[in-house]
Amino acid sequence: MHLDNLEFNMLYSVYSLPNIILPFFGGMLIDRMGVRFSIFVFSSILILGQLVVVISAYKFEYYSMLVGRCIFGIGSESLNAAQAAIMAHWFRGQEVSLALGLCLSVPKLGSAFNSFLSPMI
């Protein structure tokens, strides 16, 4: 299966759409249910979405990949909010800035490498 630019961009768009509003509700869940439970829930959703994407890619089913990316997006940014809550608890003062910066930079580097390498693969 070869994806053209529009299809490739669509995979990113369906990932981004849930993240317009869901982190707000994810933050409320974190406050209500606690950080540990929230991280478990968001990680499970993330893994489920990635599993759907992998199986869809193996079967060459583009529309199933879109569904998987949407599921992945549901858990992704809310998981980042839960991680930030843990870091704010663990670190104090200037250490928080470094911890948050590292936690935001490393996944963005991974995304940049993915965007660069995926079309070549």
3-state secondary structure of 121: coil
39 occurs within a structural domain: yes
44 occurs within a structural domain: yes
pTM here is 0.79
Judge contact between 72 and 49, C-beta under 8 A. Answer: yes
Residue 3 is classified by DSSP as -
Domain count, the chain: 1
- Containing structural domain, residue 17: 9-90
13 occurs within a structural domain: yes
Q: Which tens digit of pLDDT belongs to each residue from 14-56?
A: 888 888 888 889 889 999 999 999 999 999 999 999 999 999 9
Distance CA 42, CA 19 (A): 13
Judge contact between 75 and 45, C-beta under 8 A. Answer: yes
In sign, the C-alpha dihedral spanning 35, 36, 41, 43 is: positive
